[in-house]
Amino acid sequence: MSSERPVFRHPQAAKNSAGYSRKDYEGAISTLCAGCGHDSTTNAIIQACFELAIEPHRVAKMSGIGCSSKTPAYFLGRSHGFNAVHGRMPAIAAGANMANRELLYIGISGDGDTASIGMGQFAHALRRNLNLNYICMNNGCYGLTKGQDSATADRGSAGKKGEPNPYSAIDLCKLAIELGASYVARGFSGDKQQLVPLIKGAFAHNGLAFIDVISPCVTFNNTSTSTKSYEYVREHIEATNTFDFIPLQQEILAHYPEGTSQEVVMHDGSIISLHKSEAGKEVTSRRLALDGLEEEKAKGRLLTGLLYVDPQSVDTHDIVNSTLRPLNTLGEADLCPGGATLAKLMDGWR
């Protein structure tokens, strides 16, 4: 069930440059458990869209199946949404994106949806570099079916049932970098300050932006024995960088914060300026990104932040060399060669 929010809006509510208030980016009231990490992630998405002044109807929300995949009902209520089939969000998002390259696509998935049943589609969406803001709300367990371990659960981690997970975990960020992702980040639903810029950067990215959001399940996997609990994540988090996202419209006015050690100019001209904890870690190096993840893992830490970005990324449309016009706007004049041409083709088969 989802219920609608009251339509009342405070007359003095702040509006963004597109004339929308923050409320215009909200959706129905969440039916997830109180305290669910996904709701915080949802809020970060709302915040990012509001701050970027994205027109809500220019966004299409895609998702698979699972607790996380329910969340598109809870943000951007003015956008079209598609809660599809378990593990198949990437393909459906690919088709949608091929039909109209002018919209923004946000794909919501979870660790079961991405790392198990949808692993193949995840991998191939990355290979194709679909222009999609792919957010995986990762809680290490299957919530809707009551707490089974997922493929991202760490070995030895135990949820509410108390049985330690015997299998090794899939690190989706490492995998994404290996598979050719062009924007890879990890956030924590409990750290909105870091998460909102990561989402904004993803919107500016031309290609698949993958954000693995550690998003604890309060009901089934928030135990003291779980490595995906709020407490554990807070204690073991290691931010690779903090950054400011400067959208294109503000570029000229931008005041670059002090201590910036690296700037990345995105495809649309937006700028990500990174505040580094350590010097020398190039966020545009695939190899260094993987090294960073490995190093922190060896220390028992979970690396978060923007892990890798390829600002020169080329998306699926450019790979298949499709028209700059939305394909769904083309009609007979563009698509059909007509009767006379057909008659000529017939001669080739005589």
Kindly tell me which of 72 and 187 has the beta carbon lying closer to other proteins: 72
Residue closer to other proteins, measured from CB, 11 or 337: 337
Query: Minimal distance in Å, beta carbon 98 to other proteins?
Result: 4
**Closer CB to other proteins, residue 108 or residue 306?**
108
> Distance between CA atoms of 6 and 71, rounded to whole angstroms?
18
CB of 300 to other proteins, least distance (A): 35
Separation of alpha carbons 44 and 196, rounded Å: 5
Q: In whole angstroms, what is the distance from residue 237 CA to residue 231 CA?
A: 10
Of 94 and 202, the one with the shorter C-beta distance to other proteins is 94
Q: Which is nearer to other proteins, 251 or 334 (CB)?
A: 334
Containing 287, the helix (H) or strand (E) segment is helix 286-298
CB of 206 to other proteins, least distance (A): 16
The contacts of residue 226 (CB under 8 Å, 6+ apart) are: 140, 157, 158, 159, 232
Min separation Cβ 196 and other proteins, Å: 24
d(CA 97, CA 335): 19
Q: What H or E segment, with its residue span, contains residue 185?
A: strand 183-188
Tokens of 261: 């050690």
- Residues 86, 192, 7, 53: what is their CA dihedral angle, to the nearest 10 degrees? -90
Residue for token pair 């995906």: 228
Residues that bind other proteins (CB under 8 A): 1-2, 55-58, 60, 62, 72-73, 77-85, 88, 90-100, 102-103, 120-121, 123-124, 128, 316-317, 320-325, 327-328, 330-332, 334-339, 341-343, 345-346, 349-350
Cβ 305 to other proteins shortest distance, Å? 30
Exposure of 223 by Cβ count < 10 A (0-12 exposed, 13-18 middle, 19+ buried)? middle
Six-digit token pair at 192?
Answer: 């909105």
The nearer residue to other proteins, 132 or 185, going by C-beta atoms, is: 132
Which CB sits closer to other proteins, 55 or 263?
Answer: 55
Q: Is 21 exposed, middle or buried (0-12, 13-18, 19+ CB in 10 A)?
A: middle
Instruction: Name the DSSP class of 313.
Output: -
